[in-house]
Amino acid sequence: MNIEKIVLDLKPQMLKDKEFFWNHPERGLEEFETSKYIIKRLKQIGYTDINNNIYETGIVATLKGEEEGQCILFRTDMDAVTMDDTGRTKHACGHDAHMSIMLAFAKILIDNKEKVKGTVKLVFQPDEEGNAGARKMVENGVLENPKVDKAFAIHVWSELKEDTIAIKEGAVMASSDPYNITVYGKGGHAAMPEKCVDTIYIANKIGIALKEMAKINVTSDEKAIIGVTAIHGGKTNNVIPDTVSMKGICRTNNNNIRKESKEKIKTTVENIANKMGGKAEVEFLVEYPVVENSRQEAKELQEIARKVVNEVNTTYQTTASEDFSYYLEKVPGVMMHVGCQKENFYPQHSEEFEVGENPILIGTQIFYEITKKYLM
């Protein structure tokens, strides 16, 4: 079986699928047209075991082979990005490519069903960007009935050149812990600051302290990124406000540092406010754990990837986050990064970002090679 030729033969349909997703970007939990299209395509391909009641717009297509064996899960995300500058929704993270890969892989898989010894779950997951849709998918039983033995996912990646796959053992993507801070004081006339508890001043002190905290007791490969990304308080020039709201985020590639950092953020913020006569509260929001590839599967996939691309990077990790971590907390598996950088570098979540053809072909082939390794 010449998998490269088969993938190339599927290229026109892959690009047609990608064009649909590109032209129909939808926010998390609003992937209605996307979900309809995926279900239609899965039925065209020949799938009958399709569950679209797992969680909101999520879909699980299951293929059982001719013989018993392991259950392997492959996941793609579905949602698009809301651009900060324009407010419009765009596939600026590559999820359109991911879904195209999955549909092409689904076709190859069903055409080779007689070779499959075990079960494959194809998971189309909503809301990766905003509210950790993976957590809800896991809570709703995506890893059960049948029980999943291994889980794999691909993310196209703009920091890596085309024809490169990055597969690292252990921590590969950072945790993400966004937080809100509310600072309480005593407002008043700016001409009489001695009669106030200045929330603006307290907020500034907190922001500086959190920035400095990230530099303490952290090695270069296990760094923490801690900072404030937004401050809102007051409406006029001559009034000190009663409250100030702040937003920030903490990221790290180490779960121990993650736990310590969250505790330090809370105590630092509260202590600074208290010492200055005010009060502050910290609220952590939707949390994304560290993405940790299981070592055995990562080693095996590095060897598989060498059959597909010219360069396999075994050390790359990023402080970006991904909710695939919720799957890997429960079962062994790997998040792979497939390079999509061309001559001009445009980062993910930028207006100019778009995935070309080559990463889609590579992603489809690597998914098949994984299936061949574990189920054929």
Q: Which domains does the chain have, with CATH numbers?
A: 3-172+290-375 (3.40.630.10), 177-284 (3.30.70.360)
pTM tops 0.75, yes or no: yes
- Bridge partners (DSSP) of residue 226 are 250
Residue 83 DSSP class? P
pLDDT 10s digits, 174-216? 999 999 999 999 999 999 999 999 999 999 999 999 998 876 5
Name, in order, each residue with C-beta under 8 angstroms of 295's C-beta and a sequence gap of 6 or more: 169, 170
Residue 306 DSSP class? T
User: By the 8 A CB rule, do 245 and 233 touch?
Assistant: yes
User: By the 8 A CB rule, do 231 and 241 touch?
Assistant: no
Q: What is the pLDDT of residue 84?
A: 76
Q: What is the pLDDT of residue 216?
A: 59
CA 365 – CA 306 distance, rounded (Å): 12
**Residue tagged 């599927």 (tokens):** 10
Which residues of the chain fall short of a pLDDT of 50?
A: 217, 220
Sign of CA dihedral 254, 178, 139, 59: negative
* Helical residues (DSSP H) of the chain, grouped into ranges: 3-23, 32-45, 95-111, 133-139, 199-213, 255-275, 295-305, 325-328, 358-375
Q: What is the pLDDT of residue 29?
A: 97
Q: What is the pLDDT of residue 343?
A: 83
Q: Which amino acid is it at 97?
A: A
Write the DSSP string, 207-252. Answer: HHHHHHHTTSS--GGG-EEEEEEEEE--SSTTEE-SEEEEEEEEEE
Q: What is the pLDDT of residue 189?
A: 97
CA 369 – CA 376 distance, rounded (Å): 10
What the block records as the tokens of 280 is 């502050």
What the block records as the tokens of 316 is 């790359």
**Residue tagged 């100019």 (tokens):** 352
CA 211 – CA 265 distance, rounded (Å): 10
User: By the 8 A CB rule, do 138 and 327 touch?
Assistant: yes
User: By the 8 A CB rule, do 86 and 32 touch?
Assistant: no
Give Cα separations from 128 to 55, 110, 120, 323 (angstroms).
13, 27, 21, 6
> In the β-sheet with 243-252, what is the strand arrangement from edge to edge?
224-232, 243-252, 177-184, 279-284
Q: What is the pLDDT of residue 148?
A: 98
CA 265 – CA 143 distance, rounded (Å): 34
CA 89 – CA 259 distance, rounded (Å): 33
Q: What is the pLDDT of residue 222?
A: 65
Q: Within a 13 Å sphere around the CA of 27, how many CA atoms are in the beta-carbon half?
A: 7
User: By the 8 A CB rule, do 242 and 186 touch?
Assistant: yes
**Residue tagged 């590969």 (tokens):** 172
pLDDT 10s digits, 56-100? 999 999 999 989 999 999 999 999 999 877 789 999 999 999 999
Residue 58 DSSP class? -
Sign of CA dihedral 53, 50, 368, 354: negative
CA-atom Rg of the chain in angstroms: 23
Residue 222 DSSP class? G
CA 39 – CA 138 distance, rounded (Å): 21
CA 242 – CA 240 distance, rounded (Å): 7
What the block records as the tokens of 138 is 């896991």
- Bridge partners (DSSP) of residue 232 are 245
Query: In 3-state terms, what secondary structure has residue 114?
Result: helix
CA 31 – CA 186 distance, rounded (Å): 45
